[in-house]
Amino acid sequence: MSEDVINAVIEFVESESKKPDAYYKEAYELHIKPVVSHALNLADRQDADKEIVEIAAWLHDIGSIMGRREDHHIAGAEVTDDLLTGLGYPEEKIEKVKHCILTHRGSVNIRRESVEAQILADADAMSHFDDIEGILVRVFDGDKGLMLAKLERSYAKLSEDAKGFVSDRLENARRDLG
């Protein structure tokens, strides 16, 4: 069942990303796929439920894609509940996925109560180091100071395990953007 659910989730996110009114259409390729990759890598290194991690990673920014950027963590949890319930996914697992999505934002002070939630938050922050040039242009209109500040904030919020994956990239960004 879980493979069917994961495939349905992927199809849903990809479909929403391609809609004409989707916010940040490039998110699927430039952000969500890297977050999934980082999340699965971290889940392999830790005692985590990979299924929960993967589903949460695919859906973590669905609220933003659907136009609710400011509260995308809340909107994403709502969409996730509806989607996974409709797919017959177990309620206790839905709650775990929703917790990951609700707590993934570094700017929202909600306690992460599971290793899966920390993994998603780490993977989301790690992805910022994958597309520095793109984020610099798309989000910060070329302002290197703002971009570096975002990377510094992202790095500060990472677990020690995740910091090891991006510390070299942060040093390069400090040199290139500073």
Average pLDDT over residues 74-88: 94
On whether the pTM is more than 0.85, the answer is yes
Q: Which fold has domain 2-117?
A: Hypothetical protein af1432 (1.10.3210)
Cα–Cα distance, 12 to 35 (Å, whole number)? 17
Cα–Cα distance, 125 to 171 (Å, whole number)? 16
Q: Is the pLDDT of residue 121 over 80?
A: yes
Cα–Cα distance, 14 to 152 (Å, whole number)? 30
Domain locations in the chain?
2-117, 128-178
Average pLDDT over residues 66-84: 87
3-state secondary structure of 52: helix
* The two three-digit tokens of residue 52, written as one number: 């929960």
pLDDT (0 to 100) of residue 143? 95
Burial 26-50 (b: 16+ CB within 10 A, else e): ebbebbbbbbbebbbebbeeeebbb
pLDDT (0 to 100) of residue 74? 82
DSSP alpha helix (H) spans, the chain: 2-18, 27, 33-45, 50-59, 62-65, 72-86, 91-103, 115-127, 132-138, 144-156, 160-177
Poorest-pLDDT segment among 29-43, 70-84, 154-168: 70-84
User: Which residues have C-beta within 8 Å of that of residue 48, sequence separation ≥ 6?
Assistant: 42, 115, 116, 119
**97: nearest Cα among 76, 71, 126:** 76
Q: Is the pLDDT of residue 29 over 80?
A: yes
Residue 102 CB neighbours (<10 A): 19
DSSP string, 157-174: TS-HHHHHHHHHHHHHHH
Task: State the chain's mean pLDDT as an integer.
Answer: 92
Chain center to CA of 77: 13
Label residue 149 by pLDDT band (50, 70, 90).
very high
Average pLDDT over residues 123-149: 93
